Amino acid sequence: LASSTPFSDKSTSVGLYAAGEAAGGVHGASRFGGSALSDALAFGAISGRAAAQYSRQVDAPTSGDDAEAELQAAMTRMLSPREGQAPGEIRSAIQSTAYQYLNAVRSGDGLTRALTELDRIGDRLPEMFAWAENPRQRGALLRQAIEVDGQVELARILATAALYREESRGGLFGGHYRNDFPDQDDENWLKSVIVSGDGPELSCHTQPPVKI
């Protein structure tokens, strides 16, 4: 759902707002095709107004010297001419793992294997490079490298939440079907799963669904 207040108590990104499916959506695990667009428009407007109001009440944020130095070091490393892992190679590994274990039909064993494989893929990130002789290609590789870093994290979050939720929700094509827990269990799982943490150290807790 659209956030009317910043996630300042749970997130390091103070003032972060989300809308539509980026915030979980309003239809649960099963939605009709095309409804995500109306969600984004309606709740995007709500979040946009709330974010604008919040921004007028606070000073412009600063990233801090440590964050800037860390980002600069990462950029320098990726843009240095050297041997290593191309972003496309790592992205292909993520896609293969997601297709095999995080598709429409999932299982506890498969999700556990997915997390193990994603940890291995994450270990390859420091070897990723974005160097190319052509400046335009270099920029494209750097963008891919930044995206790949986030894709590994997103896949970990998805696998962690899916493993934690020991039920199926929304039917076979509803977005979450566990063949080891094939039934929908509203008594125990009519709630949202919240994943927190960073990198491989992720944890889950639940909260009641927001009713609108």
More confident residue, 176 or 29: 176
Instruction: Judge residue 168's burial from the number of C-beta atoms within 10 Å of its C-beta, 0-12 exposed, 13-18 middle, 19 or more buried.
Output: buried
Global pTM exceeds 0.85: no
Alpha helices in the chain (DSSP H): 35-55, 65-78, 87-101, 108-123, 135-164, 186-189
Structural domains of the chain in order of their starting residue, each with its CATH number: 1-61 (no CATH), 64-207 (1.20.58.100)
Token pair 């079907």: residue: 177
The Cα 103–Cα 111 span in angstroms is: 10
Tokens representing 144 are 């891919």
Tens-place pLDDT, residues 3-50: 444 443 334 466 788 877 777 767 777 766 667 788 888 888 888 888
